[in-house]
Amino acid sequence: MERHELRIKPQPKNEKINREKEIDAMKTQIMYEMTINNILNPLLEIVYEYKASSAYNCVPESNKDSKSGWKYYGNKFNYIFKALNANIFLNEKQYKRIYSIIEGLFSFVRKFEYANGLPNMFLEANENLNYYLLAFTIPKDQREMFREKVIGMPGEAELSAADNYHANLQRKSENLNLQFDEEDFFMDELACAIRRLFKIALNL
């Protein structure tokens, strides 16, 4: 008896192309899901723990010292870096861009310097973050003294814009009964910057 071997019939060219497109679309969808669920969302969770962790000095809602916060956030970032490397559907350009975002936020968490600890790319992605730099948080009645003693103080126009920005947010908080303080608004602005950086990284 003749030996019979089953083989898949050659597919028409159009069907093959359509199948390849379906596979590419599936890979892209998986890439987005892995990036959002395992990288972006965990990063945003860290951002919104800024206040509860006393600027990442301790585990959120605890009274432990800074050593506990150091280890806690180190473990969180290890998980995120691992998730990035597990996402094999990212191309090299996307990988490098997202790596720099994670690395930048990790550096900020380790510095305990408020907005002054942020890499420039975050300030460029959301210019409102500049209003949280130390130079813009100096009380009005002390600005002249600082201007005489330090270099790099903002000009009057920039300081006025910062004052208006913070005043508008305070009015918004009062009108909507948000009970937000400066740290709450800072977290929102930082989250916005990260969102924009991820859109750039993924060409969205």
Note whether residue 5 is domain-resident.
no
Q: In this structure, what token pair is assigned to residue 130?
A: 């500049």
CB atoms within 10 A of CB 88: 10
Please tell me the total count of domains within the chain.
1
Listed in sequence order, the DSSP H helices in 36-65 are 41-47
Contacts of 31 (CB under 8 A, 6+ apart): 87, 89, 90
pTM equals: 0.87
| Domain assignment of residue 13, yes or no | no
| Residues 66-107: tens digit of each pLDDT | 668 899 999 999 999 999 999 999 999 999 999 999 999 999
How many angstroms separate the CA atoms of 39 and 99, rounded?
10
The answer as to whether 6 is a domain residue is: no
185 exposed, middle or buried (CB, 10 Å; 0-12, 13-18, 19+)? buried
Q: Percent of the chain, pLDDT > 90?
A: 68
Establish if 12 belongs to a structural domain. no
Range of the domain at 29: 19-201
**Are 173 and 22 spatial neighbours (Cβ–Cβ below 8 Å)?**
no
